Amino acid sequence: MRGGYTPRHALITKVNVTPIIDVALVLVIILLVTAPLLSVADLPVNLPQAQTRESEDERNLSITLSSTGDLALDDELLAREALAPALRDRLAMKENENILVVVRADSDAPYSVVRELLEEARASGARRIAIATRQRTEGIR
């Protein structure tokens, strides 16, 4: 007697979604990693170290000062004299009423300039001001 017919190569009738899910997860991870970097200027800044770190998850305005004296407000490069009007305009927006203004200054930048930036932010109407620092890594001094 002959047994039933069994084909050697069974047809694949289902769609394999595993590669699609893998690609989607990789894209989500790339988006999560690059999104915070989009609102920060591309000036090289060596931030000073600090013991604590907070306010990173909330929306803020970033004033960046490089060691060469270049300035940026969020991702927009500005001249020194254009910073106050641009900051005043941003702080005048309704959604930026109680926004945190973060000064990101290179550790080699003169502290007198950092102090002037803090004073200028306060004079422009900033209610909350912070200085960005690098978080200290455990065991490294």
For the chain, domains (ranges, CATH) are 40-135 (3.30.420.270)
Q: What is the pLDDT of residue 38?
A: 72
Q: Highest-confidence range of 43-52, 57-66, 81-90, by mean pLDDT?
A: 81-90
Q: What is the pLDDT of residue 27?
A: 94
pTM: 0.57
Q: What is the pLDDT of residue 133?
A: 80
Q: What is the spatial distance between Cα 65 and Cα 106, in angstroms, rounded to a whole number?
A: 6
**6-26 residue pLDDT tens:** 667 777 778 888 899 999 999
**Token digits for 83?**
């910073």
State the Cα torsion 88-91-92-95 to the nearest 10°: 160
Q: What is the pLDDT of residue 17?
A: 87
* pLDDT > 80? residue 79: yes
Q: What is the pLDDT of residue 98?
A: 82
Q: What is the spatial distance between Cα 77 and Cα 141, in angstroms, rounded to a whole number?
A: 33
